[in-house]
Amino acid sequence: MIRLHHSVSARSFRPLWMFEELGLPYELVMHPFPPRVHDEAFLEINPLGTVPALFDGEVRMTESSAICQYLASRHPEAGLEVGPDEPAYADYLNFLHFGEATLTVPQTLVLRYGHFEPPERRQPQVVEDYARWFLSRLRTLEPRLASEPFICAGRFTAADVSVGYALMLASHIGLSERFKPAAADYWRRLQGREAFQRALTAQHDAALEQGVSPKPAMEIG
């Protein structure tokens, strides 16, 4: 069975959400965040010290958007991938990576320098600069999201999971109040998906069962 190492609401939520969209059986191993700080032995599972860490037979993966792509293409019958022969193939790959590289990475600077670092190392200017960076890149999606229900291909795909997680993180760190209307509607639509709700429940229940706090470490406020 696929095993996913996960911390509540960390990027490993992307593969967890994919499992629920695909109806796959999986084992969820919960870690307090950040895993390498709470358990040095985690570095044997993933030398990067980060989640996700996914094991599927001989396969080992540590990049959340790549895992979404992997799962979608392993289960093409579910329609969560966009194939090379479809017109939206390039958009699909672009947004799958945009979700992590462009929309999530700047938020990690907001989190680190506004929340995780000790008070004397906090950098309010970095926090505001990278919050704006994130919001201005997100704004580029407004025309698309105002006329399309999903990010590409006219249907829900793994690219929506990638971008959707970035919106979830933004809501934890207080940036969703600054979303423009089409992004706010899109985020509401994604949260309304049954698989998204099941993923939230799964991480909550697994955290409690495994003695880990179910509260997201990245929640500000």
Ligand X SMILES: N[C@@H](CCC(=O)N[C@@H](CS)C(=O)NCC(=O)O)C(=O)O
List contacts with ligand X (CB under 6 A): 10-11, 34, 36, 49-52, 63-65, 100
Residue 152 one-letter amino acid = C
Q: Compare residues 42 and 156 and give the one whose CB is closer to ligand X.
A: 42
Min dist. Cβ of residue 87 to ligand X (A)? 27
Q: Compare residues 65 and 69 and give the one whose CB is closer to ligand X.
A: 65
Q: Report the residue closest to ligand X, judged by CB.
A: 50
Q: Compare residues 38 and 155 and give the one whose CB is closer to ligand X.
A: 38
Q: Are strands 53-56 and 59-61 parallel, antiparallel or unpaired?
A: antiparallel
Collapse the DSSP code of 38 into the 3-class scheme (helix H, G, I; strand E, B; otherwise coil) and give the result: helix
Dig out the tokens for 140 from the structure: 């580029």
Min dist. Cβ of residue 1 to ligand X (A)? 21
Q: Compare residues 29 and 143 and give the one whose CB is closer to ligand X.
A: 29
Report how far apart, in Å, the C-alpha atoms of 61 and of each of 15, 51, 113, 126, 138 are. 11, 10, 28, 31, 27
* Residues belonging to the chain: 221
Positive/negative CA dihedral, 131, 153, 65, 203: positive
Q: Compare residues 67 and 183 and give the one whose CB is closer to ligand X.
A: 67
* Edge-to-edge strand ranges of the sheet holding 53-56: 26-30, 2-6, 53-56, 59-61
Those residues with Cβ within 8 angstroms of residue 37's Cβ, 6 or more apart along the chain or in another chain? none
